[in-house]
Chain A
Amino acid sequence: MFEGILITIATAATPLLIASVGELVVERSGVLNLGVEGMMVMGAVTGFGVALATGSPWLGVLAAIIVGALFSLLFGFLTLTLVTNQVATGLALTLLGLGLSGMLGESFVGQPGVKMDYIYIPVLTDLPLVGKLFFGQDPLFYVSLLLTAGVAYFLFRTRAGLTLRSIGDNHTSAHALGINVIGIRYLAVMFGGACAGLAGAYLSLVYTPQWIENMTAGRGWIALALVVFASWRPWRVLAGAYLFGAVSIGQLHAQALGIGVPSQLLSSLPYLATIVVLVLISRNRRLTMVNTPASLGRPFVPDR
């Protein structure tokens, strides 16, 4: 029972974690992409459709990653090459993604999807108490942990990571040092898009293997909030994602137990929790000032 709850929490947290870690890299490079929700829902519809057509969830995941990255390029082209307002363009990406996915996925509604198998390692998975939790989850759960570790290592232990952070903190100086600001930002944006696509595929291939319009239900926005909550640090994103996973699973269990609180009010808990968490973290102005990438959201036109 207890193990079961922990596993469902991990399942709820994983898509948030993947999308959030991707966005963290984007924001560390100084770009604010509010289109996470849109890229995620595009990943969800692509993953579902490709898995349905080919019968292979892995091909679905791959396609979702590619589509997520390509879709983010649209945002990249506008904000990086045409220097449009990042907030407005991110919103546009979300609106476009929600619209396009609804259109593309219309024939998928009500179709039984393809579910990704859980991992099974003889002996280890059968261990009592922790076997399923550590050795018997879906493969993407492990991918999400590796991704977090990889991003943490990349950002704070490699030269390339330092370069990326320097762009996010002061793009003018980075440019003066001969760093290709726009090129690196393009890569960061695409990485974020790929992660969001993967997170979306997780929803439609693992979390609930079916296609429902707007099935991301604000998770892309919660992922954005998690980046702020984590003050742009990968391991804190992990903590935040699991906290939110726990809140959403907790409210589901409360609904099942029928504790007399209307289900709609319980369903709004994750959104309210997001607001509370944002308030708690941003009231400390100095902390936010220190951690926020200084060039975040600022337009950059290289002087030649």
Chain B
Amino acid sequence: MRIELVKRPERSQLFAAFSPFIALGLTLIAGAIMFTVLGKDPVEALYYYFIDPLREVWSLHELAVKAAPLILIAVGLSICFLSNNWNIGAEGQFIMGAIAGSILPVMFPEFQSWIVLPLMLLMGIAGGAAYGAIPAYLKVRFNTNEILTSLMLVYVAQLFLDWMVRGPWRNPEGMNFPETRTFSPSAVLPEIWSASGRANWGFVFAIVAAVALWFMLSRTLRGFEVQVLGQSPRAGKFAGFSQSRMVFFAFLVAGGLAGLAGISEVSGAIGQLRPTISPGYGFAAIIVAFLGRLNPLGIIAAGLVLALSYLGGEAAQISIGVSDKVVRAFQGMLLFFVLACDTLILYRVRFVGSSAAKTVEATQNV
């Protein structure tokens, strides 16, 4: 038996809408099998992963805390991926945004005013965007593969952060722990509704960014340019669109949003810099972007799903003793299923036995 693809005459709207759901369903099935192999009751395990975290209000707040960076990064990445710029270094841009944004509260802790927070956010955006500009510049100027350069810069950023918090920025009163001083209240991103939970303004930024980019992509010339240059660089050239400017645009937007996510996370959720400030948000956001079908509004939903998997991982570890490492395996599987299901949008899949294949070929040759 073999599998044959038959191109559809046009994109299937049905599968374009449903493929992420099919992928989620398949991931759940695969997950259930995995838990059975691990010797856990699959129903119970999936319950702790995907239902339990949704049952209480504080836990919904945690969901927003985790979803905010994922959505912010992923909507930026969607611009990159749509325009054929493979930025996979968002994790590094996130870290550099966090570092740049922390300059004020770490180096000038006495400076306390209402303006501190807006300045921090701006510096975070600038830091992330500047770090994103490196692979963009190298791609435009030297034709260097942006996949590899942006990824290498992630390792550099991680090591740089490690050095900063152990070296120059280590908290003088911190008993030699590798962390910066805790931010003063004026440098902390406020909670949206602190009576019921921890969710901070980062989530609002994420929603605003997603809606703004959705508008840009679907209603403006710049959005059209992104799509044209992504799908057919040649057509874009004839239309007078500049490929190199698009490279910079995509990387600056993605880097800036990743930087905003970084400073929001540090200022809102952590309150100081530590050697590790992200459980791999920059990479999980790649999955979010594809699960949301590179549509900023879809990405909001996808970000919540991935955030739920992080929370569920913690819940499952506490209640049924499943390792929190399982989450990342889950997320990896999800991306596989998403990509596989996207095939159904453009192709019809046909299973043919070897004898049947010959008949088909014979009829086609007539």
Contacts from A to B (Cβ < 8 Å): 34, 74, 78, 81-85, 87-89, 91-93, 95-100, 102-103, 106, 213, 217-218, 221, 224-225, 228, 262, 264-265, 267-268, 271-272, 274-275, 278-279, 282-283, 285, 288, 301, 304
Contact = CB atoms under 8 A, between A and B. Distances in A.
Contacts of B177: none
A228 B335 CA distance: 26
Contacts of B330: 99
Given A88-B290, A102-B325, A265 B332 contact: no
B143 A285 contact: yes
Contacts, number: 140
17 contacts: A82-B3, A82-B340, A89-B336, A91-B88, A92-B332, A213-B325, A221-B151, A264-B160, A264-B166, A265-B159, A268-B155, A271-B153, A272-B156, A275-B144, A278-B148, A282-B144, A301-B347
A84 B88 CA distance: 18
Interface in B300-327: 323, 325-327
Main secondary structure of the interface of B (DSSP, over half): helix
Contact of B347 (A83, A85, A224): A83
B143 A283 contact: yes
A301 B333 CA distance: 25
Contact of B339 (A85, A285, A301): A85
B361 A96 contact: no
Contacts of B340: 78, 82, 84
B142 A95 contact: no
A37 to B, nearest CB: 9
A92 B335 contact: yes
A81 B1 CA distance: 13
B163 interface: yes
Contacts of B142: 279, 282-283
B281 to A, nearest CB: 13
A21 B275 CA distance: 35
A132 B149 CA distance: 37
A155 B153 CA distance: 33
Contact of A272 (B88, B152, B283, B325): B152
Interface residues on B, range: 35 or more
A15 to B, nearest CB: 17
A288 B143 contact: yes
A265 B326 CA distance: 32
A96 B142 CA distance: 32
B5 interface: yes
B328 A98 contact: yes
Given A102-B325, A283-B143, A285-B143, A96 B335 contact: yes
A82 B326 CA distance: 27
B314 to A, nearest CB: 15
> What are the nearest 7 A-B pairs in CB distance?
A96-B332, A99-B328, A99-B329, A264-B163, A92-B335, A102-B325, A264-B159
Contact of A98 (B159, B332, B343, B364): B332
Given A95-B331, A96-B333, A275-B152, A228 B145 contact: yes
Contact of B152 (A78, A92, A271): A271
B8 interface: no
A272 B160 CA distance: 12
B145 A265 contact: no
B162 interface: yes
Interface centre among B4, B156, B286 (most CB of A within 10 A): B156
A100 B332 CA distance: 8
A74 B340 CA distance: 11
B328 A95 contact: yes
Nearest to B155: A271
A74 B147 contact: no
Contacts of B349: 82
A304 B156 CA distance: 48
